[in-house]
Amino acid sequence: MRALVFHSAHDVKVDTVPDPVLQESDDIILKVTATAICGSDLHLYRGKVPGMKEGDIMGHEFMGEVVEAGNGVAALQKGDRVVVPFVIACGSCFFCDMRLFSACETTNPDRGTIMNKKSLRPGAALFGFSHFYGGVPGGQAEYVRVPKANVGPIKIPNTLADEKVLFLSDILPTGYQAVLNAEVKQGSSVAIFGAGPVGQMAAACSQMLGAEKIFMIDHHPYRLEFARQHYGVIPINFDEVDAAEFIIQNTGCRGVDAVIDAVGFEAKGSTLETVMTTLKMEGSSGAALRQAIAAVRRGGIVSVPGVYAGFIHGFLFGDAFEKGITFKAGQTHVQRYMPELLEYIEEGKLAPEAIISHRLSLESAAQGYRMFDRKEDECRKIVLTPGIVTTANLP
């Protein structure tokens, strides 16, 4: 089959690789009908996430048709259309019983990027996201093996097109969990740092839940304008103003009820931070988190769906303590939210497909990564389809 394969930083190619096969009784084989390039895929593409090996198949946002199922699969059958969550969870361990699926302690033999190992058990394996998260082949391919198929994939009615439901695999539930963690409700004020795909989905969900004022912070004007038009955000370009200061001045010098950090560890920071991360003296940029702490009101919440790894200098925990801030963070418990989000889509309350800016063939995936990474052609979100021919011009 054909699949998008990691070779080294900034070097990914569509290669011919062996077809996946059933390995466990509760596996399925999926014929991929749509897959997408996620913002967190760019961390891998740039060589920023440890544990990637040459030959790894990338991609964790995908859906398709079941073409083979193990004899232990009861929830699905051949021919079903399903969306697959990027988190692989067993459904029956200590954490899965609490519906904390991304903390599943049975699917990942490693411990992720946690530095303080001690006796900590691992979190869940992820599709296509390095050997720190299980080394499971991803879904930017013609076919993919899906473990734990009784727990993860959700069946999709034939009345809904792939593009309407594809983002149930990651960015929509990730944005939704971030908004729930931020306790956004009718009349809330919220600031979202990062106008990438997760930030856009967080804005959509905040609007749906009745947020009165949504600030969106980024430095790509086209992404800010899209969010303004579609989700009614107040756009802030952090290259032009101090975002936290602007937010404070426009909330009665109080700050917002909640901040969502949808940027993560590659936030644009100071020259010192850039040098420190290059020299491996720091694991992540703290720029977005410092702004979040400054912009949120006393007693407010900072919700962090953006990926972080390692240690951060200048965290300003004293400010967080003095303001009485609550932090909520972590990988998304995707399985927990997929059913209700599917209902919102069916009811027309959410239209996540609006974010799509480019549709390419799987064969054009490498060019798609380059375009998304460089923010060329006002690229917001790319959907890849195996077996089609790309007609769009690629920069």
Domain extents in the chain: 2-170+333-385, 171-329
The beta strands (E) that lie in the chain are given as: 2-8, 11-16, 28-37, 61-69, 81-84, 87-88, 125-126, 143-146, 154-155, 189-193, 213-218, 234-237, 256-261, 296-304, 326-329, 358-361, 382-385
The C-alpha angle 81, 83, 84, rounded to 5 degrees, equals 130
Structure tokens at 3: 């699949």
Joined together, the tokens standing for residue 49 give 């996430």
CATH fold of 171-329: Rossmann fold (3.40.50)
378 vs 204: CA distance, rounded Å: 19
> How many residues comprise the chain?
395
In Å, what is the CA distance from 374 to each residue of 39, 140, 355, 367, 377? 12, 20, 18, 11, 9
pLDDT of residue 51: 87
The residues pairing with 4 across neighbouring beta strands, listed in sequence order, are 14
Task: Tell me the β-bridge partners of 326.
Answer: 301
CA-CA distance, 204 to 197, in Å (whole number)? Answer: 11
Residue with tokens 């944005």: 175
Two tokens at 325? 């801030």
Distances (CA, A) of 148 to 29, 69, 91, 96, 123: 11, 11, 8, 12, 15
Instruction: Give the pLDDT score at 109.
Output: 83
Best CA proximity match to 267, nearest among 209, 175, 194: 194
Output the pLDDT for position 113. Answer: 63
CA distance 175 to 168: 10
For the chain, 395 residues long, give each residue's pLDDT as a single digit of tens. Answer: 999 999 999 999 999 999 999 999 999 999 999 999 998 899 899 988 888 999 999 999 999 999 999 999 999 999 999 999 999 999 999 999 999 999 999 999 876 666 666 657 778 999 999 898 999 999 999 999 999 999 999 999 999 999 999 999 999 999 999 999 999 999 999 999 999 999 999 999 999 999 999 999 999 999 999 999 999 999 999 999 999 999 999 999 999 999 999 997 654 554 444 444 543 444 456 788 999 999 999 999 999 998 877 667 667 889 999 999 999 999 999 999 999 999 999 999 999 999 999 999 999 999 999 999 999 999 999 999 998 655 454 55
Amino acid 388: pLDDT: 67
> Considering the domain 2-170+333-385 in this protein, what is its CATH number?
3.90.180.10
- Closest by CA to 178, choosing from 324, 272, 292, 64, is 292
How far apart are the C-alpha atoms of 354 and 87, rounded to whole Å?
24
| Distance (Å, whole) CA 61 – CA 86 | 6
**pTM greater than 0.85:** yes
Q: So what's the pLDDT on residue 276?
A: 41
Specify the DSSP element, H or E, that contains 101: none
Q: What is the pLDDT of residue 48?
A: 81
User: Residues with Cβ < 8 Å from 226, sequence gap 6 or more?
Assistant: 195, 200, 355, 380
C-alpha span between 240 and 331 (Å, rounded)? 31
The per-residue pLDDT for 329 is 95
Tell me the C-alpha distance between 278 and 385, whole Å. Answer: 35
CA angle 144, 334, 373 (to 5 degrees): 65
Alpha-carbon distances of 84 from 30, 214, 300, 340, rounded to whole Å:
10, 30, 33, 15
Q: Which amino acid is at 303?
A: S
